[in-house]
């Protein structure tokens, strides 16, 4: 049997051998052969030409429910599978060239509590004022029909497996499916199964939604069952473990099982989970479900549900310690939000208090509201914007002139971006009566399946992309901001303060990639403390660049119905950016992989991790309400320290007290990564943190693996 987690860990064996064996089978790729291409198409339906696009999509959902293969293993405690390869590839099965939706989180809690019957009653209670609304809500009713068809097929399949080696398990699943998702759940087992079915059906149809606040949704069911004696903790842990195992069905696993080439590691398909944080009554959510999730992660080390925990000053020592225990396993599967800082940024954007408390993420770590947000973002490389200003024909005569030129380039970029976003949401036409230009919002891809589990869409009578959600967000995300700040600092100190050489000469040297100037490059790289070393001068430069970026984005002209907040991220785009970057003034060659997210440029941090945290926390994150992550990589040897969990808890508390936004931790050494690169079969579940998600190292392309090894070595 392949070891689930080759990293050193405690001997934790709370789960049954059968469950651990099932996890191994999934993670080793044993079931990959069950993924199939659909043998059906929307053309099979011969739909009339006058059917609306949204109803056409709903009819496709019915066809998927009728024709998709059913995967059922008698040893599994949860039924339902999404085995269609186009869905795994972010496409709607049976609709050639039709991409699906991701970077969002549905309101699965609402769907679970109402059931299909409750959703149906709600839709019938709305009065449709336009034909468009009638078509939309009729499409949602068709999706409900599709889910009923799909679940009924599993009920029939369970009945046919009644003589399997696990008849009691089959009997329990059958009983559960006869109540949910049609009706509200009566207990934890039913709530968990209903959650999986609502989540899984939107995946079967190609969408990649996050799951949202898992313990807030399921905790009350579990706590009630525990109090009444209907379930024991060990049984509940097994059920959650099966939920976790089912979530790996699309995992890339080992290369030899991969139907395509290894890639960027989107193994988790944006299926993020949020734990803890305060609820609508201001009470911290820390229930049995919270801790059982962490138990399962610790034992199985499954990364397909990246977990973020919302913490605050009232978070218990017990939970902080439990987070630390899991993080010390490596892989960065569990990350943390400072929810007070996050909610303050949302408050300053003008969101109502009743919304703010329910924030979740979009599948990575950008902040949204479940069931109420249509989200997208535009990434760009801020370092390239700066280098465009630096390498312009006219050499600036002062640092202030250089900086103002950079800001003008940034303002122009933001202006152009704003126009692109407007064009993405609005189509220009001519009013036939007045002859004037008018702009009308359009829906690029009417979507019914995900819209069903979006309460705001059901209420508005419009689909996801057609301003149907309460909030439509298109955020601007800058990469390379620490690299810009380091460049500015180096030029300010070496050129305009020390007068080491004229700026025109430095520009020539950088264009020539430091060729023949190695000693000078070393001087620029090593004689200055850059961002990430808790140096006041370096951090002040970074904060100035940070604040000006946020202010320029905030000052851009509003777009009707669309919010455009600022964020900072790279999401692994260090690779994508590298070929277009010239050498930098702080001693980096052209094409190097530079700063990830809001973390220091690899190799520039000279002091302890606390210095990195101190530098990061000097930023005002209210200016980047869509997110600004800090990646910290701990020494792999730290896991061996007897007081390692206490050290991490102290770090968490400093992160809270100093006002950090979002923290991603990883503990892995370059030697282990190199071993895994040579022999991936030995490391099927070696997990590394990429950015807003974790990935199995074996699933990554060599280019991505080399990038992670490189940054790990430089940060050691």
Looking at residue 181, its pLDDT comes to 98
Residue 6 has pLDDT above 50, yes or no: no
Distance CA 392, CA 581 (A): 15
Regarding whether 666 and 591 lie in a shared domain, the answer is: no
Q: What proportion of the chain, given as a percentage, has pLDDT over 90? A: 75
Regarding whether 99 and 11 lie in a shared domain, the answer is: no
Instruction: Classify residue 379: in a domain, yes or no.
Output: yes
**What's the pLDDT band for 105 if we cut at 50, 70, 90?**
very high
Q: Quick one: average pLDDT of 327-337? A: 86
- pLDDT tens string 622-648: 999 999 999 988 877 777 889 999 999
Looking at residue 8, its pLDDT comes to 42
* Domain's final residue, options 207, 237, 260: 207
Regarding whether 660 and 602 lie in a shared domain, the answer is: no
Instruction: Classify residue 612: in a domain, yes or no.
Output: yes
Residue 692 has pLDDT above 90, yes or no: no
Residue 660 has pLDDT above 50, yes or no: yes
Looking at residue 265, its pLDDT comes to 52
Instruction: Classify residue 39: in a domain, yes or no.
Output: yes
Q: Would you call 430 helix, strand, or coil by DSSP?
A: strand
Which range of 89-93, 223-227, 576-580, 706-710 scores highest in mean pLDDT? It is 223-227
Distance CA 337, CA 656 (A): 9
Regarding whether 360 and 279 lie in a shared domain, the answer is: yes
Whole-angstrom CA distances from 677 to 672, 699, 700, 706 are 9, 10, 9, 9
Q: How far is CA 139 from the centre of its chain?
A: 29
Instruction: Classify residue 578: in a domain, yes or no.
Output: yes
Instruction: Classify residue 294: in a domain, yes or no.
Output: yes
Domain count, the chain: 3
Residue with the larger pLDDT of the pair 369 and 162: 369
- pLDDT tens string 241-282: 999 999 999 875 334 334 444 455 544 688 999 999 999 999
Instruction: Classify residue 370: in a domain, yes or no.
Output: no
* Domain's final residue, options 207, 222, 257: 207
Q: Are 181 and 112 in contact (CB under 8 A)?
A: yes
Distance CA 537, CA 543 (A): 10
Q: Domain range spanning residue 121?
A: 31-207
Q: Are 516 and 565 in contact (CB under 8 A)?
A: no
Regarding whether 311 and 213 lie in a shared domain, the answer is: yes
Regarding whether 221 and 199 lie in a shared domain, the answer is: no
State how beta strands 273-276 and 307-311 pair: parallel
* Domain's final residue, options 185, 207, 229: 207
Q: Quick one: average pLDDT of 79-89? A: 94
Nearest to 324 by CA among 80, 667, 587, 660: 667
Instruction: Classify residue 187: in a domain, yes or no.
Output: yes
Regarding whether 222 and 170 lie in a shared domain, the answer is: no
Regarding whether 526 and 432 lie in a shared domain, the answer is: yes
Q: Quick one: average pLDDT of 642-671? A: 91
Instruction: Classify residue 19: in a domain, yes or no.
Output: yes
Regarding whether 571 and 658 lie in a shared domain, the answer is: no
Q: Is the dihedral of CA 342, 346, 352, 355 positive or negative?
A: negative
Q: Quick one: average pLDDT of 164-180? A: 94
Q: Across the strands, what pairs with 687? A: 696
Residue 322 has pLDDT above 90, yes or no: yes
Residue 233 has pLDDT above 90, yes or no: yes
State how beta strands 334-338 and 307-311 pair: parallel
Lowest average pLDDT, out of 192-196, 426-430, 663-667, goes to: 426-430
Regarding whether 340 and 277 lie in a shared domain, the answer is: yes
Regarding whether 289 and 221 lie in a shared domain, the answer is: yes
The runs of H, that is alpha helices, within 426-502 are 449-452, 455-460, 481-490
Looking at residue 434, its pLDDT comes to 73
Regarding whether 116 and 252 lie in a shared domain, the answer is: no
**What's the pLDDT band for 337 if we cut at 50, 70, 90?**
very high
Q: Would you call 20 helix, strand, or coil by DSSP?
A: helix
Q: Are 544 and 604 in contact (CB under 8 A)?
A: no
Looking at residue 333, its pLDDT comes to 86
**What's the pLDDT band for 714 if we cut at 50, 70, 90?**
low
- pLDDT tens string 443-495: 778 999 999 999 999 999 999 999 999 999 999 999 999 999 999 999 999 99
Q: Across the strands, what pairs with 475? A: 377
């Amino acid at each position: 049997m392949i070891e689930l987690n080759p990293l050193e860990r405690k001997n934790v064996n709370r789960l049954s051998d059968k469950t651990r064996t099932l996890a191994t089978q999934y993670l080793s790729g044993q079931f990959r052969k069950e993924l199939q291409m659909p043998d059906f198409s929307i053309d099979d339906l011969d739909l009339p030409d006058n059917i609306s696009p949204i109803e056409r999509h709903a009819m496709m959902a019915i066809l998927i429910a009728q024709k998709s293969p059913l995967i059922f293993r008698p040893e599994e405690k949860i039924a339902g599978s999404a085995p269609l390869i186009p869905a795994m590839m972010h496409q709607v099965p049976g609709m050639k060239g039709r991409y699906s939706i991701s970077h969002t989180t549905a309101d699965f809690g609402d769907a679970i509590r109402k059931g299909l019957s409750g959703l149906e009653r709600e839709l019938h209670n709305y009065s449709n004022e336009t034909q468009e609304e009638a078509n939309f809500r009729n499409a949602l009713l068709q999706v409900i029909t599709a889910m009923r068809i799909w679940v009924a097929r599993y009920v029939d399949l369970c009945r046919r497996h009644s003589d399997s080696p696990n008849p009691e398990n089959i009997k329990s699943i059958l009983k559960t499916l006869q109540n949910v998702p049609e009706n509200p759940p009566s207990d934890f087992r039913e709530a968990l199964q209903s959650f999986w079915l609502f989540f899984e059906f939107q995946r079967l149809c190609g969408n990649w939604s996050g799951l949202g606040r898992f313990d807030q949704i399921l905790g009350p069911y579990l706590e009630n069952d525990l109090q009444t004696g209907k379930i024991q903790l060990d049984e509940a842990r097994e059920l959650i473990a099966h939920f976790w195992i089912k979530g790996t069905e699309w995992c890339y696993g080992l290369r030899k099982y991969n139907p395509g080439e290894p890639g960027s590691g989107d193994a988790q398909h944006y299926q993020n989970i949020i734990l803890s944080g305060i609820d609508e009554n201001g009470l911290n959510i820390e229930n049995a479900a919270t801790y059982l999730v962490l138990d399962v992660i610790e034992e199985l080390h499954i990364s397909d549900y990246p977990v973020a925990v919302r913490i605050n000053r009232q978070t218990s020592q017990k939970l902080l310690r439990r987070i630390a225990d899991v993080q010390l396993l490596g892989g960065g599967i569990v990350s943390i939000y400072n929810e007070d800082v996050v909610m303050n940024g949302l408050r300053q954007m003008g969101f109502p208090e009743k919304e703010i408390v329910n924030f979740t993420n979009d599948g990575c770590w950008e902040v949204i509201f479940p069931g109420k947000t249509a989200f997208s973002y535009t990434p760009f490389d801020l370092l390239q914007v700066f280098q465009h200003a630096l390498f312009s024909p006219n050499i600036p005569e002062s640092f202030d002139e250089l900086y103002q030129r950079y800001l003008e380039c940034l303002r122009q970029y933001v202006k152009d971006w704003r126009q692109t976003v407007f064009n993405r949401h609005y189509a220009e036409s001519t009013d036939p009566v007045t002859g004037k230009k008018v702009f009308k919002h359009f829906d690029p891809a009417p979507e019914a399946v995900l819209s069903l589990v979006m309460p705001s869409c059901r209420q508005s009578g419009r689909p996801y992309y057609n301003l149907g959600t309460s909030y439509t967000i298109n955020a601007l995300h800058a990469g390379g901001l620490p690299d810009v700040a380091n460049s500015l600092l180096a030029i300010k100190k070496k050129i305009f303060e020390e007068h080491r050489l004229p700026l025109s000469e430095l520009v020539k040297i950088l264009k020539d990639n430091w060729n023949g100037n190695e000693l000078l490059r070393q001087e620029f790289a090593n004689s200055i403390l850059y961002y990430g070393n808790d140096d006041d001068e370096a951090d002040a430069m970074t904060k100035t660049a940070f604040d000006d970026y946020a202010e320029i984005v905030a000052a851009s002209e509003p777009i009707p119905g669309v919010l455009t907040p600022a964020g900072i991220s790279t999401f692994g785009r260090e690779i994508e950016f590298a070929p277009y970057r010239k050498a930098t003034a702080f001693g980096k060659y052209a094409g190097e992989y530079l700063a990830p997210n809001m973390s220091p440029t690899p190799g520039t941090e000279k002091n302890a991790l606390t210095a990195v945290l101190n530098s990061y926390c000097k930023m005002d994150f209210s200016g980047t309400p869509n997110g600004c992550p800090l990646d910290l990589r701990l020494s792999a040897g730290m896991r061996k320290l007897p007081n390692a969990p206490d050290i991490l808890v102290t770090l968490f508390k400093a992160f809270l007290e100093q006002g950090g936004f979002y923290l991603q931790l990883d503990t892995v050494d370059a030697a282990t990564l190199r071993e895994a690169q040579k022999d991936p079969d030995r490391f099927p579940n070696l997990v590394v943190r990429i950015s807003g998600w974790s990935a199995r190292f074996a699933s990554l392309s060599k280019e991505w693996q080399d990038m992670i090894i490189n940054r790990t070595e430089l940060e050691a």
